[in-house]
């Protein structure tokens, strides 16, 4: 088992991601943040709270998206559906999608399809904590990356949010 | 995350875990139905036939809508407009349909056990949409979903099932389900409409007193008097039934608490329910119908995953 990010590095990385998002979306007026259920939510919750702290805002447009019904492997295995919670329109908005690990790209493909059922966003960006580059099965790349790592298929990446660390094993 | 069964023949065959999986999945589908585009691509590769050998409005529309919201291809079959009237058997009819590559069958039939019979002879997944006086599992699931949505829990909730228990598949499915999730159940109606041994056989309380039952319960699920299934005189007149077992405003106002009124439809207004009760805010009859689509989506989605015809 190999540590990719320890607690301190994880905190700094999340702060950086929040600031990078702000750099491109300075007022947040037309921007919405959407975390992908279930594991992307841990990251998106922390990024959202960093953004609020930085801008001294109480509320920003933040939703949670579940992609279970849009998966391309339904016939192989059914997964537990989680709550989708998007209480605003995304029509014409800039959307920042947030997930913890980007691997094959299939989750993000499903998320894009799901997102389009809520309206037509002006732009969609992708923010991930870990990018397992060279493992993509679809042409999808992140706009904001916590850390890019080289890994092989037999390896697994685990983000442990209770211990605040990321490991490769 | 799959159900323990390949078909939904009845609640009897489901485990408590199956029930909770269906209800929690239905919650997510209910959210899908609030979206600008109320549709998901999950069943794009599935063809479903709705085989209705008996009349239906709600159930049939609800299933068809659920199928379409899941992007399935949908076929509709009505017995009266088919070769069934030329004498074709049930099994022949279904096998002919399945040879055209249909994956799932939603079936309503006036004979109890018809879907169980079919399940032993065909490879497709079967969803029972009501069989004779046996079960109507999706109705019980949507009733439970609606109770849970309104009261926040099923375990320990006191549910009275009132009316024609004898001829009601809704009653039987509801009793099985409510007992499996730990709710308390009382069945109430005239002695001629309650099977004699139901108390011991299904572990429910039996009451012949409507007022006492309403005082006790949190939820009253009121059933329709099914005149079409009664082939003997079981009560003297609808008017007399209504006087003894009809629920009116006065009766509800006399209770110490506000109970929830449910009805699986179609309502005989002025018989089992007065109009002002059916249309009051205590009644969740239309919410039941709304929830029916989400619950049926959950059932079809969860059963579509295991389809031997496709393996």
* ipTM, two decimals: 0.90
Alpha helices in chain B (DSSP H): 16-32, 58-69, 90-98, 114-119, 137-151, 169-180, 198-202, 210-216, 238-245, 249-253, 275-278, 285-304
| A84: chain B residues, CB-CB within 8 Å | 28, 31-32
CB contact under 8 A, B305 and A78: yes
d(CA B106, CA B124): 10
Task: Return mean pLDDT, chain B.
Answer: 92
Q: What is the pLDDT confidence band of residue A76, given thresholds at 50, 70 and 90? A: confident
pLDDT above 60: residue B307: no
| B36: chain A residues, CB-CB within 8 Å | 117-119
Of B1, B24, B45, the CB nearest to A78: B1
**Contact between residue B161 and residue B175 where contact means Cβ atoms under 8 Å apart:** yes
Per-residue pLDDT, averaged over A66-75, amounts to: 92
| Model confidence pLDDT, tens digit, residues B128-150 | 999 999 999 999 999 999 999 99
Looking at the complex, report in whole angstroms how far the Cα of residue B11 sits from the nearest Cα belonging to chain A: 21
Instruction: Say whether residue B66 is in contact with chain A using an 8 A CB cutoff.
Output: no
Write out the two tokens for A64. Answer: 């949670």
**Contact between residue B55 and residue B79 where contact means Cβ atoms under 8 Å apart:** no
Of A70, A80, A82, the CB nearest to B40: A70
> According to the model, what pLDDT value does residue B306 have?
55
Per-residue pLDDT, averaged over A96-115, amounts to: 96
> According to the model, what pLDDT value does residue B85 have?
73
CB contact under 8 A, B301 and A82: no
pLDDT above 90: residue B294: yes
Write out the two tokens for B167. Answer: 């001829």
Per-residue pLDDT, averaged over A66-87, amounts to: 91
Give percent above pLDDT 70 in chain B: 97
pLDDT above 90: residue B308: no
Q: What is the pLDDT confidence band of residue B80, given thresholds at 50, 70 and 90? A: confident
H/E stretch holding A55 reads helix A40-55
Q: What is the pLDDT confidence band of residue B311, given thresholds at 50, 70 and 90? A: low
| Model confidence pLDDT, tens digit, residues A110-136 | 999 999 999 999 999 999 999 999 999
d(CA B54, CA B84): 12
Sheet containing strand B104-109, strands side by side: B73-78, B47-52, B104-109, B125-131
- Antiparallel, parallel or unpaired: β A165-168 and B125-131: unpaired
Domains of chain B, each with CATH number or no CATH: 11-135+292-310 (3.40.50.1370), 137-289 (3.40.50.1370)
Which is it for the CA torsion B19, B22, B27, B33, positive or negative? Answer: negative
Q: What is the pLDDT confidence band of residue B270, given thresholds at 50, 70 and 90? A: very high
Chains A and B: how many Cβ contacts under 8 Å?
Answer: 52
CB atoms within 10 A of CB A94: 18
| A68: chain B residues, CB-CB within 8 Å | 28
| B2: chain A residues, CB-CB within 8 Å | 78
Instruction: Say whether residue B35 is in contact with chain A using an 8 A CB cutoff.
Output: yes
Instruction: Say whether residue B100 is in contact with chain A using an 8 A CB cutoff.
Output: no
Q: Whose CA is closest to B149, among B286, B302, B274, B280?
A: B286
What are the CA-CA distances from residue B81 to residues A154, B57, B63 (Å)?
57, 16, 20
| Model confidence pLDDT, tens digit, residues B202-250 | 999 999 999 999 999 999 999 998 877 776 778 888 899 999 999 999 9
Domains of chain A, each with CATH number or no CATH: 2-168 (3.40.50.2020)
């Amino acid at each position: 088992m190999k540590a990719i990010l320890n607690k301190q590095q994880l905190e700094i990385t999340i702060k950086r991601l929040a600031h990078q998002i702000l750099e491109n979306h300075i007022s947040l007026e037309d921007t919405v943040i959407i975390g992908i259920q279930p594991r992307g939510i841990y990251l998106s919750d922390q990024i959202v709270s960093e953004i609020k702290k930085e801008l001294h805002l109480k509320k920003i447009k933040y939703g949670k998206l579940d992609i279970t019904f849009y998966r391309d492997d339904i016939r192989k295995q059914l997964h537990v559906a989680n709550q989708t919670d998007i209480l605003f329109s995304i029509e014409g908005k800039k959307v920042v999608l947030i997930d913890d690990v980007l691997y094959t790209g299939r989750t993000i493909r499903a998320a894009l399809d799901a997102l389009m059922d809520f309206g037509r966003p002006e732009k969609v960006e992708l923010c991930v904590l870990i990018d397992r580059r060279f493992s993509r099965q679809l042409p999808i790349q992140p706009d904001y990356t916590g850390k890019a790592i080289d890994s092989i298929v037999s390896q697994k990446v685990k983000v442990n949010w209770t211990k605040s660390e990321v490991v490769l094993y | 995350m799959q159900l323990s069964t390949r078909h939904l023949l009845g609640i009897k065959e489901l485990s408590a875990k199956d029930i909770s999986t269906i209800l929690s999945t239905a919650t997510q589908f209910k959210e899908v139905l609030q979206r600008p585009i109320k549709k998901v691509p999950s069943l794009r590769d599935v063809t479903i036939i709705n085989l209705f050998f008996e009349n239906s409005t709600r159930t049939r529309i609800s299933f068809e809508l659920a199928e379409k919201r899941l992007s399935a291809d949908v076929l509709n079959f009505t017995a009266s407009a088919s070769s069934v009237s030329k004498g074709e058997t049930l099994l022949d009819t279904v096998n002919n349909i399945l040879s055209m590559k249909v994956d799932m069958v939603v079936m309503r039939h006036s004979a109890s056990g018809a879907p169980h019979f079919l399940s032993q002879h065909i490879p497709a997944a079967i969803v029972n949409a009501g069989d004779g006086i046996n079960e109507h599992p999706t109705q019980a699931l949507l009733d439970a979903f609606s109770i849970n949505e309104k009261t926040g829990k099923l375990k320990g909730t006191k549910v009275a099932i009132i009316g024609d228990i004898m001829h009601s598949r809704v009653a039987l499915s509801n009793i099985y389900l409510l007992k499996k999730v730990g709710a308390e159940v009382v069945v109430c109606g005239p002695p001629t409409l309650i099977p004699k041994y139901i108390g011991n056989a299904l572990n429910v309380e039996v009451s012949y007193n409507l007022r006492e039952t309403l005082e006790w319960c949190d939820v009253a699920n009121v059933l329709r008097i099914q005149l079409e299934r009664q082939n003997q005189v079981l009560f003297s007149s609808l008017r007399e039934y209504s006087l003894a077992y009809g629920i009116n405003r006065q009766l509800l106002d006399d209770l110490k608490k506000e109970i929830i009124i449910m009805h699986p439809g179609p309502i005989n207004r002025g018989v089992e329910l007065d109009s002002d009760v059916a249309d009051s805010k205590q009644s969740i009859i239309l919410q039941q119908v709304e929830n029916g689509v989400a619950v049926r989506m959950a059932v079809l989605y969860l059963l579509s995953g295991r389809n031997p015809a496709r393996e």
